[in-house]
Amino acid sequence: MSYNRKFVIFDLDGTLIDSYECVLRCVNKTLNFFELPSIIIPASDNTKNVEDIFDRAKEITQNVIPYSEFKSKFDCVHLEDCINDMEINIDAENLMCQYFNNGYTILILTNKLKCIADKICNHFFSNIDAIVIGREDVHQIKSNWQSIVEKLSNIDICPGACELYVGDSDDDEYLAKSMAIKYLDIRSFQFENSRPKTLYNRIIRFVATYGKIFNLVGKLTLIFGLISLLYTCFITYVAWNKIPSHTFNAFLSSEGYSSKNSYCNLRLQIDAGSAIESETYKSDNSYNLIQVYNSDEYDENIPLSKFFFGKCSYLLTSHTNRCLLYTKPIQRDS
């Protein structure tokens, strides 16, 4: 009597094996037998979930033939062709071998017909002495956890002695919770001995676990960045013709004399916004021109530095997009 022996449960399709292409081929063979259209699944819609194939088959057979008749014929077709186009999940196989080598009983639980599951397991996992529980008719077995408990009791296994349930679908997770068994989703698992223990792998696994959150954050970041870019473009457009504010301080120091006979005359002209260069020399206020020069009204000798300090210590504070600062000697009439 081995009622309390420790064991682990492994799902078959999508967990230990990838049977998607094989099941799709057998379903289409069955549909062709009933002269019904085949299922064509684009690569973009390929979820690798065999239940999606059967859901499409139900839609095609609806109101044409009983689905139980279709499923019964499918089992016959699949029994003959259940090995080709199948791939083993190496991580799941390694995990199963590890538990088996540590003395655990391996139980393979599947919605496949039991004779089909036996054929697959004997072909791919002949080194593992596993107990296979599959369906005996066209009805799924995972939808009724009480029947699973009864089947376990028939082979002297207690659900409380189950160490782990390894699956890949919502049905697997629901069944594990219903039986109070710890659940492991093989899609987020990678066998430790098949990968280097690096920070990169931890990050990849974390991102895969919280992929939906990162996807939402990425979309919000993209939208925020686009709004910021549009706002920046708008501000740039509005400010394109605006002249920034600048303060110009000019300190002119020169020692000389001003008289009617003097030829040394200084003219300072600042343009703070003329539209056309030729208009720079106009002196009306609409062009923001400032002219400073020594005048004929002075007959006495005055230092230019003193003159400019009193007349022009603060020359200009203005919005400008172009400033021309130059000196030009002017010859006065004698």
pLDDT for 47: 75
Q: Which ranges of the chain have pLDDT less than 50? A: 1-2, 194-197, 247, 251-267, 269-291, 294-302, 314-332, 334
pLDDT digits (tens, 9 = 90+) for 44-89: 777 778 888 999 999 999 999 999 999 999 999 999 999 888 889 9
In three-state secondary structure terms, 133 is strand
Q: What is the pLDDT of residue 217?
A: 84
- What is the pLDDT at residue 290? 47
Distance CA 164, CA 105 (A): 11
- What's the CA gap between 166 and 5, in Å, rounded? 18
Put the strands of the sheet holding 267-271 in their side by side order: 289-293, 267-271, 324-327
Confidence at residue 139, expressed as pLDDT on a 0 to 100 scale:
86
- State the pLDDT at residue 154: 86
Closest among 46, 44, 45, 38 to 20, alpha carbons compared? 46
pLDDT at position 236, please? 78
pLDDT computed for residue 140 by the predictor:
86
Half-sphere exposure of 179 (CA within 13 A, CB side): 28
Domain 1-13+90-186 annotated CATH 3.40.50.1000: yes
Q: Which pTM value belongs to this model?
A: 0.56
pLDDT of 187: 85
The DSSP annotation for 169-185 comes to SHHHHHHHHHTT--EEE
User: How is residue 124 annotated by DSSP?
Assistant: H
Domain ranges within the chain, ordered by starting residue: 1-13+90-186, 20-85, 199-238, 245-327
In order, the DSSP letters of 74-125 are HHHHHHHS-STT-EE-HHHHHHHHHHHHTTPEEEEEEEEEHHHHHHHHHHH-
User: pLDDT at position 199, please?
Assistant: 59
Distance CA 175, CA 148 (A): 9
The span from the CA of 183 to the CA of 145, in Å, is 15
How far apart are the C-alpha atoms of 269 and 274, rounded to whole Å? Answer: 12
Predicted pLDDT of residue 210: 66
